[in-house]
Amino acid sequence: MSELPPVAKDMFDDLRVAVASVAEPLHAAGHRLYLVGGLVRDRLLADDLTLDHDLTTDAPPERIRDLVAGVADAVWLQGERFGTVGLRVGDVTMEITTHRAEAYVSDSRKPVVRFSTELVEDLARRDFTVNAMAVDVADGTLHDPFGGRADLEARILRTPLDPVESFSDDPLRMLRAARFLSRYELTSAEGLVEAARSLVGRMEIVSAERIRDELFRLLEVEDPTAGLDLLDEMGLLETVLPELAALEAPKRAALARRMAGAPADAVLRLCVLANAVGDDEVIGRWISILRLSGRDAGRAQTLLDGAAMVADQGAEPSDEDVRRLAAWAGERLDDVVAFAVLVGAGSAIGVLVDSVVRLRAAGEFNDLGPALDGATVMGLLDLEAGPEVGEVMAWLGELRLVEGCLPNEEIRRRLIEWWGNTGD
């Protein structure tokens, strides 16, 4: 490969200026400060989607804390024991991390962190060469000891060290490889897949939460298809989403195309996958395995259960069917309908969509509960508080769902007539 032209001297100037106030006290104390990782990578790609200002320094964390205290508007020390100090200066948020090398050992779920004063050692322990580049804030020099810029140009995904060593240090990097492959349209370097296959068992030491977060980042890529294929090649798909791995290749490919056409929403796309597996219990297993938050788990279950309800409505959903769906889904009605459309639930999804629009415009979804309150019911029927009132309220709720909005006088007339007949 031909030698790359030098980087334009002013390529990183605006980023250097943004952190200059923090760099000054560090430089004055004899330390170095570097822009690092995604910020550098995305600037080289002219793709400034990375908003975080990540920096690395040879200063130890307690020294960082003391030196930035006088210039930062806010400082966060939650990550100090891992070498990271977070801070905000004006509207710029950044994290400064002491050069470090971290690795997982034996069966521990927590990395062992060792601080260093050498930039090259810090870069060597990063996940991929395209992320192992740093820019000196003092003079704008690009430090690229592992050829990340050339790999970025050639669209190659490579680890700075031997992939067996890199993946063994942090097994989550194998899953992260899938995201980078898809996000930046990269090709895996020779030996990368084989190394991952040999280390699939190491994923056992990675927490479910870290696996979930990385999987969600992959699912939020515009088209995660290539990443899912890489996970399958590595043998990781069976570990992360075994039911998906069990699908035949043509079906999985068609499913990936459908998923890529969905909005880049991780929970939504996970539900697309779960729906296609055709197993009613799969989302429950995934919720448990990936330890989804209560909010995400509830949303996922609602989308899948709602799509099943739509499919059960048949070829011509009635207004009652639509009102019942709206009452069940509540504020998630539009999400449920959109998901049902996305996965092709039911044979008359178009009728459902039209009915939702029509009934909403008519005010049918404004209040889907009983039209009368308990006090009114007791006064109208001369009842005391008790089970009978509950029975009446249930009847009123059914009347609302079956017949929709009725005039108040009509509701009262029907209620009196029904209650009179119950005593016959």
Q: State yes or no: pLDDT of 369 exceeds 70.
A: yes
Q: Which amino acid is at 173?
A: R
Who has greater pLDDT, 122 or 104? 122
Q: In 84-117, which positions are buried (b, 16+ CB within 10 angstroms) versus exposed (e)? A: bbbbebeebebbbbbbbbeebeeeeeebeeebbe
The token duo for 106 is: 């034996």
The token duo for 378 is: 């007791």
Query: Within 13 Å of residue 303, how many CA atoms lie on the same side as its CB?
Result: 26
How confident is the model over 331-348, as pLDDT tens digits?
Answer: 999 999 999 998 888 777
Q: State yes or no: pLDDT of 50 exceeds 80.
A: no
Question: According to the model, what pLDDT value does residue 60 have?
Answer: 93
Give the closest residue to 129 by CA, choosing from 153, 110, 111.
Answer: 153
Top-tier CATH class for 155-291: mainly alpha
Question: According to the model, what pLDDT value does residue 296 have?
Answer: 96
CATH 3.30.460.10 domain range(s) in the chain: 1-148
How confident is the model over 293-310, as pLDDT tens digits?
Answer: 999 999 999 999 999 988
State mean pLDDT over 359-388.
86
CATH number for the segment(s) 1-148: 3.30.460.10
The token duo for 129 is: 């060469």
Name the one residue in this structure whose structure tokens are 């995604």.
38
Q: Which residues, in sequence order, are CB contacts of 386 under 8 Å at separation 6+?
A: none
Q: State yes or no: pLDDT of 28 exceeds 90.
A: yes
CATH 1.10.3090.10 domain range(s) in the chain: 155-291
Q: Which residues, in sequence order, are CB contacts of 277 under 8 Å at separation 6+?
A: 243, 244, 247
Average pLDDT, the chain: 90
Question: According to the model, what pLDDT value does residue 344 have?
Answer: 84
State mean pLDDT over 2-11.
81
**Lowest pLDDT segment from 127-136, 185-194, 206-215, 345-354:** 345-354
**Beta 134-136 vs 112-115: how paired, if at all?**
unpaired
Q: For the chain, percent helix, then strand, then coil, each to nearest 5?
A: 55, 10, 35
216, 273 contact by CB (below 8 A): no
Q: State yes or no: pLDDT of 221 exceeds 70.
A: yes
State mean pLDDT over 398-408.
89
Total length of the chain = 424
How confident is the model over 318-330, as pLDDT tens digits?
Answer: 899 999 999 999 9
How confident is the model over 72-102, as pLDDT tens digits?
Answer: 999 999 888 888 999 999 989 999 999 987 6
The token duo for 405 is: 């909005």
Question: According to the model, what pLDDT value does residue 265 have?
Answer: 94
Q: State yes or no: pLDDT of 231 exceeds 90.
A: yes
